[in-house]
Every structure is written in structure tokens, then in C-alpha cells.
Amino acid sequence: MTRAPQWMFGRWIERVRFLQLAVFVVVLILATAVFPHGLLMRAFLTLVFLNTLFVTLSAVGHGPKVRGACLIVWVIATLCMAWGEFHVGERFDRMVAFAGQSAYLFLIMTGVVATFRYVITTRRPSLDTIFAAVVAYLLIGVGFTLLYTMLLGLDARSFNVADRPGFDERAALPSPLLYFSFVTIATLGYGDITPQLPLPQILAALEAVIGQFYIAIVIAWLVSRYAMEPNPDSKRAPAQD
């Protein structure tokens, strides 16, 4: 008697897993403008990464060894970011923060690869598949934000954001750099924030190219496949004489 409701609940969770993850990532992006730093923001950031880890790896069926390894990386990143919340300014503290950002960047890359694999190998595209593609796009933007933050930590001349309102070097995801990343991936190019050194300039150009090709190829291909897929629930009723 209880197996059917549990099975139906599991199927429902599977259908909305990437939808809820997309909502989490969007809320994270918006929260950076309201709570740019602080323990609450860092705690929410760790939860978003943990959610990303489990959703993306479960979608492609990775076993407990891969999940366990990624979970260890997540724990290391969380501890490093927690250390940065209470210790700022010293050289060792900056190294710890850099290690935490690198671990989070690894988790994002893992999530993007797993999600992209799930999207291109799905035989019957669904709304969950489309939201998975959206999640991958958002994670790419967040990943470049972390990369820009790491470059700025290594050299303050990387971007002209030092005097920008709302910029805080203690923030896990500085909102000006997050804004710059998504403006770049969407190829809007407002020009209010610009990379100043060769490496961030090349990375920004690479992000713009990835954003163009992703929307033009991946999203368009997936939506066209979904539109062409017959809906099994909408069968025509037999004609009556």
C-alpha cells in the first residue's frame, strides 16, 4: 500500500530536481546584491553547492565513490570559506580563501559537465531537461565569477571594481563581479566594469563566446527537440459515429 505513494513521490522529485536547483541558483544570484557577505550568505552558498552536487551527480547516475569524493571537496571548500569569514587580511588567510574558491570552482565544473552530459544523452527531452540546460548556463556564469574573484585576489589590478559601490573583497561572490560575469555571458557589454589585465580580458572574451554558442546551439537544439517530441498524455480520442 505504501510503495505506490513512495514511488510516485520519487518520480515527482525527479521531475522537479533541476527546477528547484534553478530556483536556488537564481535566489543565490539575487541574494548577493542584498547580503554581499556575512555568515548567512556563506551558509546559503554552501547549501546551493551541496544541492548542485547531489542533483547533477544523481542525474547521470554517478556511484557513491564519485559522490563521496566530491563531498570531501565540498567539506574542504566549506571549511576554507568559513575560515575566511573570521580571518581576513593575512597572507595565509588569503591562501585558505583561494583554496576554498578553487574547490568550489571544481565543484561547479563537475556540476556543469554532469548536467551537460545529462542534457545531451536524454532520449526523451522534458521540462526537467530544459531546466537542466538552464542550470548549466547559470552555473557557467557563477563559475566565471569565482574565477574572476580568484584573479582579483591575486592581483587587484585585474578589474576596475575597487571603488565601485557594493564591492567587498570579503564577499564569497562579489556582486559586481557576478554582475560582470552575467553581463559578459549574455554579451550585453555595458562597459562599466572592465578587465584590466590580459588574462581576465581573455577569460571574459572566452565567456562571451561560450554564452553565444550555448544559447544558439544547446538551448535552441533542446527546445526544438522538446517541441517535436510527441506528448504521450495527449492522445486523440477515438472518433465516434
Task: Tell me which of 189 and 55 has the higher pLDDT.
Answer: 55
Instruction: Report d(CA 22, CA 134) in Å as an integer.
Output: 7
- The per-residue pLDDT for range 77-97, each reduced to its tens digit, is 888 877 766 665 567 777 888
Instruction: Report d(CA 97, CA 77) in Å as an integer.
Output: 9
Q: Where do we find the cell 565513490?
A: 65
CB 192 within 8 A of CB 176: no
Say how many Å lie between the first and final Cα of the chain, rounded.
41
Return the C-alpha cell found at 81.
Answer: 570559506
C-beta neighbour count of 75 within 10 angstroms: 13
pLDDT number for residue 8: 45
Share of the chain above pLDDT 90, in %: 29
